[in-house]
Amino acid sequence: MGSASCAAASSRSFPGRDLGDSMRFRAIRDAVQFELDSFHFYKLARDKARTPEQRAVLEGLYEAELDHLHELEEKYHAHLDRSVVELSSDEQTLLSNWLFRGIQLTEDSGVIEL
């Protein structure tokens, strides 16, 4: 059943309740995923920071992404399971090893090298 026929069937089954275009839901899901990916990246990068300056910049970016996630959750009622947001230490290690493969942060390296 196509998205138009699903929406039509839905409005017949639930009068006054049109579920809308499924592409819009996809865009919301993609936006949430993008913010979640950015959140994890900055969180893990922050944990790898070697200087207070690196940590401060990455902390600010991490907090901005966290705010974006909360805004999307609130606006679109996209309540994320905490296990998706708060990765286990094993998951963090695996993701960190993959994301930062070949990137070495030192006291002399700048955040731009991420």
Q: What is the pLDDT of residues 69-79, one digit of tens each?
A: 999 989 988 88
**What's the burial of 109, exposed, middle or buried (CB within 10 Å: 0-12/13-18/19+)?**
middle
For the record, the structure tokens of 69 come out as 């996630």
Residue 10 scores a pLDDT above 70: no
Q: What is the pTM of this model?
A: 0.67
Q: Which residues contact 68 (CB under 8 A, 6 or more apart)?
A: 35, 38, 39
Q: What is the pLDDT of residues 11-61, one digit of tens each?
A: 455 566 665 667 778 888 888 888 899 999 899 889 888 889 989 999 999
CB 70 within 8 A of CB 93: no
Residue with tokens 């700048």: 110
* Confidence band of 9 (pLDDT split at 50, 70, 90): very low
CA-wise closest residue to 111 among 68, 69, 64, 59: 59
What is residue 5's predicted lDDT score, i.e. its pLDDT? 44
What is residue 61's predicted lDDT score, i.e. its pLDDT? 94
Could you give the percent of the chain with pLDDT greater than 70?
75
